[in-house]
Structure 1
Amino acid sequence: MGFLSSLSNLFGMGKKDVNIVVVGLDNSGKTTILNQLKTPETRSQQIVPTVGHVVTNFSTQNLSFHAFDMAGQMKYRSTWESYFHSSQGVIFVLDSSDRVRMELLKDELWLVLDHKDVASRGIPVVILANKMDIPGAMTCADITAALGLNLHRSGTWSIHSTCALTGDGLDKAMQQLSSEIQKYLETRKS
């Protein structure tokens, strides 16, 4: 770390460390998305299914993220909630081409949105509609309707089209998440 970076961190002007939880059903692309968010020289060449959780670190312009990449298989989903209390944001990744599991997605997403450590604290949730490059993938508007998101009134959530393989849509989604986390942190200062 350079002298100016050290000095700016000392005076609170450096990047703020934040914890986020990355959840979603198995095979939705969570780990691939996090891999895309790393710098090119730190990206993994091989992506394997997550067992339990893995911590991935990456930065945006103003924030330094510690992302808890949670396994999406059914036997691990009950562990997601134990990470919400110490997080400042949630990324929920879904496979926009997986029409078969849309009802299951709805149930899992609403459990996250309504969880006491998410809803009562008002932490932002960014929904990444991944795999938009697959023919027949649902649009964000279709997904919003299918998941009943327009009926969900509590909390701060947004939905973004993404493609983990190319990185399309990730910059915009992360800008939104960063902005919402910074607002969240400001409200906690008061």
Structure 2
Amino acid sequence: MGSIVTKLSTAFGSPERIMVLGLGGAGKTTVLYRLKFGTALPMVTPTVGFNIETLTPQDGAVFKVWDIGGGSQAKYMWKRCLQQSKGIIYVVDSSDRDRFDESQEELSFLLDSSNSENIPLVVLANKRDLPGSAASTEVAQALALQEYTGRRMWHVQTISATTGDGLEEAIDILCSFIKDSEQRTR
């Protein structure tokens, strides 16, 4: 996992911010600590407010990853916190299809903000290790991401935050999107 932090620092420079957002229980904090420590913590409690972790790879760059809770009051902070962000990681529990509609509504609320129009999005379809979890195409369809094609760079990656499977690939794609976005704005 150390290589993930190095990849992020190469894409972001120093100091920069990415947002980790999603509904409560989707796995945002587990993703954050997997990035920071390279392993999942044994017990994660629901985030009240937000967690901010500074990640410092070996090359000395510094950047912050913001994990904002998924509670109804915290969601109103999402748009405001997007200012000066380089990327959005939106975490979805891919095994909980009953909450796909709610997740789509919240993501649309976020993406339709003028503050986020040029910020790349990577959706982490988390909990792929659970039986019956949705494939990336099903998650993309449920979140209506096709509406953003041509208007925003986005990708859905199935992952397991507890094992780390798929997370490195997702970060590679986010880094690529960030580089492309920065080149377009120059």
TM-score, structure 2 normalization: 0.84
Decide whether the 8 Å contact of 2:22 with 2:28 is kept in 1. Answer: yes
Shift of the 138–73 alpha-carbon distance from structure 1 to 2, 3 Å rule, reads: same
- Give, in whole Å, the separation in 2 of the partners of 1:168 and 1:111: 29
Shift of the 52–34 alpha-carbon distance from structure 1 to 2, 3 Å rule, reads: same
Within-5 A mapping of 1:87-98: 87-98=85-96
Structure 2 unaligned blocks of 5 or more: 1-9
Runs of 4+ in 1 over 6 A off after TM superposition: 60-63
Please tell me whether Structure 1 or Structure 2 has the larger radius of gyration of its CA atoms: 1
RMSD: 2.4
Within-5 A mapping of 1:26-175: 26-40=24-38, 44-58=41-55, 64-119=62-117, 122-153=118-149, 154-175=151-172
For 1:48, give the aligned amino acid.
Answer: T
- Give, in whole Å, the separation in 2 of the partners of 1:52 and 1:15: 25
* Superposed displacement of residue 109, structure 1: 1.1
% same residue: 33
Decide whether the 8 Å contact of 2:159 with 2:166 is kept in 1. Answer: yes
Render the CA deviation track for 1:91-125: whole Å, top value 9, x for unaligned.
10000011111111111111222211111xx1101
TM-score, structure 1 normalization: 0.83
* Superposed displacement of residue 44, structure 1: 4.7
Structure 1 unaligned blocks of 5 or more: 1-12
Decide whether the 8 Å contact of 1:113 with 1:125 is kept in 2. Answer: no
* Superposed displacement of residue 57, structure 1: 2.4
